Structure 1
Amino acid sequence: MTDRRRAILTGAARVIARQGVRGLRVADLAAEAGVSTALIYYHFKDRPGILRHALAFIGDRADRYTATREEEGEPRPSDPRQLLEQTLLLEFQDLPEVRENSTAWGELRAHSVFDPELREELAAAGAAWVAEIAGHLAELCPAAPPGAVTAAAERLTALLEGLSVRWLSGLLPLEHARGLLGEAIGVETARLDSLDHRPAN
């Protein structure tokens, strides 16, 4: 990705987080990114193109800050439980990038109610996230039925999104939100573990 394209998408995430999707005006985005409106249209064609690429950018950025820190010298957790917890709990970091990303994701999700095309893009991104969490759960509870693993991943990601909104809006302290999600991880993995040991009929 070129530096200008990255600057535009970073600016789009920031404007969406601050002003919502309906408040995203190309002139405001150009000012935020420090580029011309013509350059934005050159890269993204139109406003729906900006939104689609901003959604992908936000997803990629979340992948980076919830990933292992191997490039920073931290080893990948060898324990599947630690890997699962890290992937989910790193969504709760009191960092400007994380706050901005989570807020912009919420704004895009809310707008998708009225935008079927964006809804499809968001559904695909959400399905990929559920699949990633399901993969971690399956590694942790390998004998659990795939349907139960997917359902657990759906519950955990939905809970994370709800807790994130409450944290970002000041209704929950950060550590309390992390604690609630940590407890939910324990409940879901214990349930899957009990399915691992259920006697065959």
Structure 2
Amino acid sequence: MSTRRDAILRASATAIAERGIRGLRVTDVADAAGVSAGLLYYHFRDRIGLLEAALNHINDRAREYRSEGEALTDSARDRLLRSLLGEIQDRPDVVENSLAWNELRASAVYEEALRGPLARTTAAWVSEIADAVSQAQLAGEVAGTIDPHRAAVTMTALVEGLSGRWLCREISTDDARSLVLGAVETVMPSELRRHP
């Protein structure tokens, strides 16, 4: 990715997190990225194109921090838990990502043009979690009777909902993470727990 394009995407994610979609002005993003508005439109066809690219950038950045700290010795279930818990951390980049994601999700209710891009990025996240569930099943760490896709949809929706409450400070980081862990035990019990 070009340095300028990457700077635009970072500036877009920050602007969405700080001011929301309604407060997003293309000129502000261009100024923050240190580029002209014309260059911004060169890289992105219009405001929706910029928002779609920002959403993909947010998703890519989340994929990176969700896998941080992975070790070859980690179990498949540990990798699954890390992927889910990675979305709720007291780190500026995670908070910014969560703010932007929640804003884009809420805005898609009213801006139909955002629904397709949001559905695609959500489907990518669900697919990653479903793959992690399948890997945990193959390792005997999650019951084989669980439908990986349904479990992934449930868990990603739960993480999104808890993330919104966490960002509003209705629940603490520790409480949100604890609730995710409890849900994993309920939705995806290990094979060993089901058959002592």
Of 103, 128, 134, the match for 2:130: 134
Instruction: Tell me which stretches of 4 or more aligned residues in structure 1 moved more than 3 Å.
Output: none
Distance 2:59 2:73 in 1: 22
Distance 1:83 1:75 in 2: 9
* Alpha-carbon distance, 1:76 to partner: 3.5
Give the gaps of 5 or more residues in structure 1: none
Give the gaps of 5 or more residues in structure 2: none
2:67–2:79 CA contact under 8 A, matched in 1: no
In the comparison of the two structures, how many residue pairs are matched?
A: 191
Name the amino acid aligned to 1:43. Answer: H
2:11–2:32 CA contact under 8 A, matched in 1: yes
Of 65, 72, 91, the match for 1:95: 91
TM-score, length-normalised on structure 2? 0.89
Aligned: 1:23 with 2:23: yes
* Alpha-carbon distance, 1:81 to partner: 1.0
Aligned: 1:119 with 2:115: yes
Question: Counterpart in 1 of 2:152?
Answer: 153
Distance 2:174 2:123 in 1: 27
Distance 1:193 1:21 in 2: 44
Identity between Structure 1 and Structure 2 (%)? 45
* Alpha-carbon distance, 1:133 to partner: 0.9
Root-mean-square deviation over aligned CA pairs: 2.0
* Alpha-carbon distance, 1:145 to partner: 4.5
1:30–1:40 CA contact under 8 A, matched in 2: yes
Alignment of 1:35-46 (within 5 A): 35-46=35-46
Q: Larger deviation: 148-157 or 47-56?
A: 148-157
Distance 1:62 1:149 in 2: 21
